[in-house]
Amino acid sequence: MHSAGTTKFEIVEQSTEGTVKPAQRDGAPSASEADVLAPVRVEERIERALGGVVPPDKLPKATEQVLAVVAKEFFQGPLPPPEQFSQYDHVLPGAADRILQMAESEQAHRIFWEQTAIRAETRSSFLGLCFGFLALVVLVSAAVACAYLGKDALAGALIGATTLGLIPAFIKGRGLFNWFDSAKQQPEAPPPQKRKPQQNRRTKKTSR
C-alpha cells in the first residue's frame, strides 16, 4: 500500500497587467527539475523577501514559519497517486502498467484465498452436521432399545444427553448458515479514493 504526502510551493509575482503569474527567470529549469529544486529555491526567495522586513537574527525562524504554511495532499491506497504515474513511466518506461498488474495480481490472490477459506469452513461445518446427525440417530436408537429392554433410567439418560448435545449444535449450525449468507451478499470493497487531509494525521516534514 502506497502512502504519499506531497508538498507544493508556488511563488507568484504581480505582472504589469495586474494578473498573477508564476515567477520565472531566464534559463529556468524544466518542470521536472523545478519540482526537485523547488524547496531550496522557495527558501531562498522567502529569505530575500523577508530580508528588509525581519531582523537578521530572526530571519531563519521566520523562514521556517512561512515554509510551514504550505498546501499538503495525502493519498493512501494500493496504488500510487495518479499524478505520479507519469513520473514512474518517465523514470522507467512501462512501470505504471507493471504497478497496475501487480495490484491486480495481489487482489486476485487475496480473493482466491478468501473464497478458499469460505469453502473450507462451509465444508467442515457441513461434515460436522452430518456426523452429528449420525450420532443422534445412534443415540436415539440406543435409547429406544434400552426402553424396549426395560432399562428406563439408561434410556432417559441417553435421551437427555442427546437433547443437551443437539440444541447447541443446532444453534451453531443456524449461526453458520446465517454468516455464510451474509458473506455471499456482502458487496465488494470500493476502489481506493483520495482522502482529505486531517489535522491529527501525521505528515511528512518539509526537507530544506
pLDDT (tens, 9 = 90+) of the chain, 208 residues, equals: 555 554 444 443 433 344 444 444 444 445 444 444 444 577 778 778 887 778 888 888 887 777 776 555 666 767 777 777 778 888 888 888 888 888 899 889 999 999 999 999 889 888 888 887 888 888 888 888 888 888 888 888 888 877 777 766 666 655 555 555 555 555 454 444 544 444 444 444 444 4
In order of 24, 128, 158, the CA distances from 173 in angstroms are 73, 9, 22
4 is written with which cell numbers? 504519499
Q: What residues form DSSP beta bridges with 74?
A: 5
- Cβ proximity of 9 and 38 under 8 Å: yes
Name the residue among 101, 85, 82 with its Cα closest to residue 93.
Answer: 85
Show the CA angle centred on residue 20, arms to residues 16 and 21, nearest 5°. Answer: 95
| Spatial distance between the Cα atoms of 125 and 177, rounded to a whole number of angstroms | 9
| Spatial distance between the Cα atoms of 72 and 203, rounded to a whole number of angstroms | 9
